[in-house]
Amino acid sequence: MHTSSETKSDRVIEVNDLAKEYRVYDKPEGLWASVRGLFHRKNRIIHALRGVDLSVGRGEFLAMLGPNGAGKTTFLKLLSGIITPTRGTARVLGHVPWDRADDFRRRFALVMGQKNQLWWDLPAAESFRLHQEIYRIDPIRFAKIRDELVDMLGVSHLLGQPVRELSLGERMKLELIAALLHEPEVLFLDEPTIGLDVVAQHTIHEFLRHIQKQRSVTVVLTTHYMKDVAALCERVVVVTHGSILYDGSLEQIVDRFTTHKVVTLDLENPPAAGEMERFGFSCEVHGPRVSLRIDRSRIADVLPKLLASQPVRDVSVEDVPLEEIVAGLFRGAAKRQAGTDPDQEVGAV
């Protein structure tokens, strides 16, 4: 679990035993079953969150990772006050989110990558103007912030174009500007880079990093892209089946969940069959390129021997890719879940 030395006043988000359950209609297949369902319904409980505890300090950039249905979006919806929990407590900026106090709602923003918050038929400039009224932003301050954000993302030429005519990447940039106009202290980002090309992802990474540093915004990001996490976040929370599996730094996740490193060699000549296996496990040979997995504790011993055994053009020693570590974590959690709770289907809504 994450341990930090921040004082209580520095904690922007405090969550204790937060749980959310949904009762859903278990719809059987077929017409006759549907007719019977009109009179007799079988419901089941979905545990979207199972008693989560979490504390986030001011200015932290936290990533929530988890497979589909892990409960990440449900968690953000609870912290934004969109839905109410089944049990547990949460305080964001000192407020209970689901009380939906205006003072609280003025101090945070939520951006959902899969949902449009700008007016579809109108240019973004009109949505921004509406935003100014809703959030009571001083006109001079509004113009200053808007121009600054628009310049940073280079979208001044898009402001007069109806939102429906914009590409996904362009729309997401404008969504981010709309979310930041009222200078929120907390920013919830739900998969903001989903479906974006590499260039747009990079631009948004740069933008978010700059904004977070400049304004000390507390950011909670949910994503499936490890590039987002590696580029932006120091702290990672892994969620599976509605529970927190890991909460700590990005470095620690590598240290804690892997026992080996990946050594890649570019040899002068392809090695003889079976020659490299003695140095490590999971040996992959593609012509003169060899990729080996070597126990971290043995790296210092093995590497000199490895380099002495063959003429080597290039060598690299890297951690196991983050995607692989996280996928392993997800698989392990899924197996454990299937073993302990086989009858109850779990997922987020």
Nearest to 201 by CA among 220, 236, 178, 173: 173
Residue closer to other proteins (CB basis): 69 or 280: 69
Our CB check for other proteins shows the closer of 16 and 117 to be: 117
CB distance 88 to 18 below 8 Å: yes
Residues between 16 and 45 with contacts to other proteins, criterion CB under 8 A: 22
Of 255-314, binders to other proteins (CB under 8 A) are none
Residue by residue, DSSP assigns 51-108 as EEEEEEETT-EEEEE--TTSSHHHHHHHHTTSS--SEEEEEETTB-GGG--HHHHTSE
Sheet holding 43-57, edge to edge: 43-57, 11-25, 87-92
Bridge pairing between strands 186-190 and 108-112: parallel
Cα distance between residue 13 and residue 179, in whole Å? 19
| Chosen residue from 66, 81, 192, 280 binding other proteins by CB under 8 A | 81
- Position 315 contacts other proteins (CB under 8 A): no
SS3 1: coil
Cα–Cα distances in Å, from 89 out to 31, 39, 56, 250, 266? 43, 37, 14, 27, 55
Residues comprising the chain, all counted: 349
In the range 146-205, which residues lie near other proteins by CB under 8 A? 162, 190-191
Tell which one of 129, 227, 289, 293 touches other proteins (CB under 8 A).
129
| Contact window for other proteins (CB under 8 A) among 34-42, 55-63, 132-140, 197-205 | 132-140
C-beta separation of 53 from 15 below 8 A? yes
Query: Which one of 96, 130, 231, 320 is in contact with other proteins (CB under 8 A)?
Result: 130
CB of 116 vs other proteins, minimal distance in Å: 8
The least distance separating other proteins from the CB of residue 122, rounded to whole angstroms, comes to 6
Of residues 3, 5, 40, 121, which one binds other proteins by CB under 8 A?
Answer: 121
Among 4, 34, 43, 84, binds other proteins (CB under 8 A): 84
**Region binding other proteins by CB under 8 A among candidate stretches 109-117, 212-220, 242-250, 320-328:** 109-117
Q: Which helix (H) or strand (E) holds 310?
A: none
* Residue 287 CB, nearest approach to other proteins (Å): 44
What is the crossing angle of helices 139-153 and 168-180, to 10°? Answer: 150
For the bound state, the minimum distance from the C-beta of residue 215 to other proteins, rounded and expressed in Å, comes to 19
Number of residues binding to other proteins, judged by CB under 8 A: 35
Residue 109 is a binding residue for other proteins (CB under 8 A): yes
Point out which residues bind other proteins (CB under 8 A): 22, 73, 77, 80-84, 100, 102-103, 105-106, 108-110, 112, 114-115, 117, 119, 121-122, 126, 129-130, 133-136, 162, 190-191, 348-349
